[in-house]
Amino acid sequence: MKIIVGLGNPGAKYEKTRHNVGYRVVDLLRERKPIIRRYSTDFYRAWLVSFESQSVLIVKPQTYMNESGQAVGALLQDFHEEPESLILVHDDLDILLGGLKITARRGPGTHKGLLSIVSVLGRDQLLRVRIGIGQSQITIPRIDYVLSEFEPEEEAVVSQVLERAALACHDIVCLGLEKAMTRWNAEGEANGNGSVKKGIKEE
């Protein structure tokens, strides 16, 4: 069973921040897929849905971002699944706003949520859908930037990339990783303001 985990911080305070785009993708999927079953623990909220007859679990951790590993570790243990089942959806400062990249063979970089997951699972190459939130120049500390809300003029670009991220998750499940990467990595660089920053090499 595939498990789509949208990373973010719980609570209304963080709902519209840049760090919570993973949560927003899960919300899109919840709205569009019939929910078969709901699960709720101290560590996560999860919904069992169907992608073209395939069972898929979509998840919002209830730990804060830098403790995401606790939620993901508990999730895999509860459902007797392996890390290979995971599709992690998260914000990425190394991709410009509006860009999208599917990655399967890249380390976590400095993303606190990913670092926590890697620490708990003991592996650093996980399947991820990376949503660009970066700018060519960021003049405030990174932590302040990711915890800030999008500007009104950015929301149209954000809405489009969230739609593409939800469709990319669907394609990973239904078409397979290689076909999804071929489609969405090319489109992700062509849409909106999005492109991977120069100097960042994708494996």
Q: Which residues are catalytic?
A: 19
Calculate the alpha carbon distances from 97 to 132, 139, 142, 165, 189 in Å.
5, 15, 15, 13, 10
Query: Of 90, 16, 77, whose CA–CA distance to 41 is shortest?
Result: 77
Contacts of 46 (CB under 8 A, 6+ apart): 38, 39, 40, 57, 58, 59, 60, 75
In the chain, DSSP assigns E strands to 2-6, 35-40, 44-51, 54-61, 86-96, 100-103, 128-134
Written as six digits, the tokens of 186 are 């090319």
